[in-house]
Structure 1
């Protein structure tokens, strides 16, 4: 069974083709084909990168149409040096990451016209992401036809078990009735990492108490108890919580009222400022990439140093807040671009919690660890670095929903 996965974001898209030999497996296999699109290289252009058959294809495409660029990317599955399929019809099912599922979708589902309508309606809650996710679904319909099953895997689903005292905001109660509540995001990553942590620790997931730290351009934490997310840092939107690459994270809402009243900011201007001009980028003036920040610190850039120090402060504070919903802590998990690749972030975040018995082995921490415990032998809390594999997690949900493809 061949499963194509599209993990589309606002600025990039990651795609994989997996072949399931006949059932679920614990270890993620290497995909037959990997594709990526970067929409940010330069105005009016997108960068395509494909890996398959030991070949790497890189191309700059002149187009502003996401559907056109996605089509060109997918054609490399059955054409050229990276061809791994004889024809598009060999694809049995397509899985999509969808950021917001609201309260209706607490697990992955087969995509129908009703589901598509819900994704479009919920774009009011995730205007940067849901429209892009829906566009990917419709692009697949154009390329493969409507007979190929498609599956929506919602970022919010893993947080569906948050208790009311966590997900209800302390505003007027009618906010809740209008759907304004904490939803949480990055759920596919948090779920995968919690399950992988249980495998690595040789423990049953329901017996573990975990804090998973998804630190990429977007950042969020989750407190996991009994196999479920019981608290998380992102809220009504992915803008809430930690300081991120270009997003502010949590702010005093009075700041926004002040900016609207005294400086004439519109809602759209605030949206752009908080999502694209804040966080590491806004404070440093350098950019949203942690590698840029660290390079500038080496040059003596004080604003870059301030941005980094703030990032660590917000991360430590959030880890502390997650502890409040756990009766003990078995492991801290670091994942995603920064979490997996920046040892200094892991080191400084863990130092604060040495009073809990958290101790990391600096040699292990600095040796590019993947799917290993970097804690010392006498640490009372494990510290895991896990390579998040959201695309594989999406593929697994597709298998569980569609089975061997006989429902096509």
Structure 2
């Protein structure tokens, strides 16, 4: 794989459980939007999936017989970067310093970048950052209530799931361009989950802060916890920082409460009291987060559900919106069960949407913008 495959973009969207990959042809500055040729999803097996093996599997499935011209990588934590960047040695070094802030995602993504660079030394490696969407956060949201010296170290709100949020807003604008300029709350609910308040197409608040561990409870991540509880655990159980980090990322959330799993499909198939509690807690905390985002916006015109849970679990959407009845949000039950795009009833004060996001398409667009700028 050393020959040139002119005009082909390979997109690699590495998550905690899957690698989503896509091929876009016709990729060159001035040629317009690249055309999606094919996309695939590969389940990860951490015991045997090396970066080299994942690349081989993805490129074989996508029909690459030669090197792509560009490779676009989803990188969860981009720090203060406001747009996609070429992944040269300096940029990779910067991202490696952020790796401890996203331990489930950043190290394996950077390992994939390293393998792709070795395999295709002539291809441009492009990093597209989930945090860049939130570059518009105002100071009273960006700043955390910590001393100035901590803020200077980078202890501030960055926000995540930016590719999903950008895609959701693009889909919403295609439904009605005026809608996307209103007061929108985005609820991206999957293995990771976060909410975003959008006004006039710009992120102005979000539930995750410095790391993807913060905010609402998730499949196996705790979401926000009393900092005093963490100090208590460090002392009471004599935990190391690494063991506490492992527990917060892998053993908490719905898995911790249910005692069964963090997989929403398994939870919805169970009727145990612990699972019922986990599901109710999830719905309540998401609803509270939506109300907080609406407060930041001064109201809500549109509520958008996306992600593996948000787009596919009708009963979870129903439980969340039920907690928001005081805001006069109301689902059309039939539309919700059928999983169509427009879910609200005529009596609902705000429109409610179900949207399938396209993170790979957002990565391709960001790569094209970088190529057009001359990078």
Aligned mates of 2:26, 2:303 — CA distance in 1? 31
Distance 1:69 1:167, change over 3 A: same
Distance 1:373 1:20 in 2: 33
What per-residue deviation string (whole Å, max 9, x for no partner) do you get for residues 182-207 of structure 1? Answer: 111111111111121121123263x2
Question: Equivalent of 2:24, from 18, 26, 47?
Answer: 18
Q: State the match for 1:394 in structure 2.
A: 363
Q: C-alpha displacement at 1:402, in angstroms?
A: 1.6
Q: Report how far residue 378 of structure 1 moved.
A: 3.8
Tell me what 2:135 maps to: 160
In structure 2, the residue matched to 1:352 is 323
- Equivalent in the alignment of 2:106: 130
Gaps of 5+ in 2: 1-6
Question: Does the residue aligned with 1:217 lie in a helix, a strand or coil?
Answer: coil
**Corresponding position: 1:263 with 2:232:** no
1:37 is displaced (CA, Å) by 3.6
Q: Please state whether the residue corresponding to 2:203 is helix, strand or coil.
A: strand
Pairwise CA distance, 1:31:
4.0
Checking the alignment, whether the CA contact within 8 Å between 1:334 and 1:340 is kept in structure 2 is: yes
Please state whether the residue corresponding to 2:98 is helix, strand or coil: helix
In structure 1, the partner of 2:63 is 84
- The alpha carbon displacement at 1:35 in A equals 4.0
TM-superposed CA distance for 1:30, in Å, is 5.4
Could you tell me how far apart the structure 1 residues matched to 2:267 and 2:9 are? 38
2:86 paired with 1:110: yes
Give yes or no for contact 2:321–2:331 (8 Å, CA) kept in 1: yes
Tell me if structure 2 keeps the 8 A contact 1:9–1:132. Answer: no
Structure 2 partner of 1:336: 307
TM-score for both structures, normalised by structure 2: 0.92
Whether the 8 Å CA contact 1:220–1:234 is kept in 2: the answer is: yes
Q: By how many angstroms is 1:68 displaced? A: 2.8
Q: Point out the more displaced range, 94-103 or 193-202.
A: 193-202
How many angstroms apart in 1 are the aligned matches of 2:178 and 2:78?
30
Secondary structure of the equivalent of 1:387?
A: coil
SS in 2 for 1:39: coil
Q: CA deviation at 1:9?
A: 2.5
RMSD: 2.0
The 1:257–1:398 alpha-carbon spacing in structure 2 relative to 1, beyond 3 Å, is same
Q: How far does residue 217 in structure 1 lie from its aligned partner after superposition?
A: 0.4
Decide whether aligned partners of structure 1 residues 219 and 115 sit closer, same or farther in structure 2, where only a CA change above 3 A counts: same
C-alpha contact (below 8 Å) 1:71/1:143 kept by paired residues: no
1:364 aligns to 2:342 (yes or no): no
Work out whether 1:94 is the aligned partner of 2:71.
Answer: yes
1:54-74 Cα shifts (integer Å, max 9, x gaps): xxxxxxxxx35x223223313
Are positions 1:176 and 2:155 aligned together?
Answer: no
* Distance across 1 between alignment mates of 2:25 and 2:56: 22
Give, in whole Å, the separation in 1 of the partners of 2:59 and 2:193: 33
Q: Is the 8 A contact 1:168 1:176 kept in 2?
A: yes
Structure 2 counterpart of 1:272, from 222, 225, 246: 246
Secondary structure of 1:296's aligned partner: coil
Could you tell me how far apart the structure 1 residues matched to 2:311 and 2:43 are? 21
Matched, 1:39 2:45: yes
Point out the more displaced range, 335-344 or 2-11: 2-11
SS in structure 2 of the partner of residue 325 of structure 1 = helix
Matched with 2:119 is 143
Once structures 1 and 2 are overlaid, which stretch shifts more, 335-344 or 16-25?
A: 16-25
CA contact (8 A) 1:33 1:84 kept: no
Give the corresponding residue for 1:302: 273
* Contact 1:100-1:156 at 8 Å conserved across structures: yes
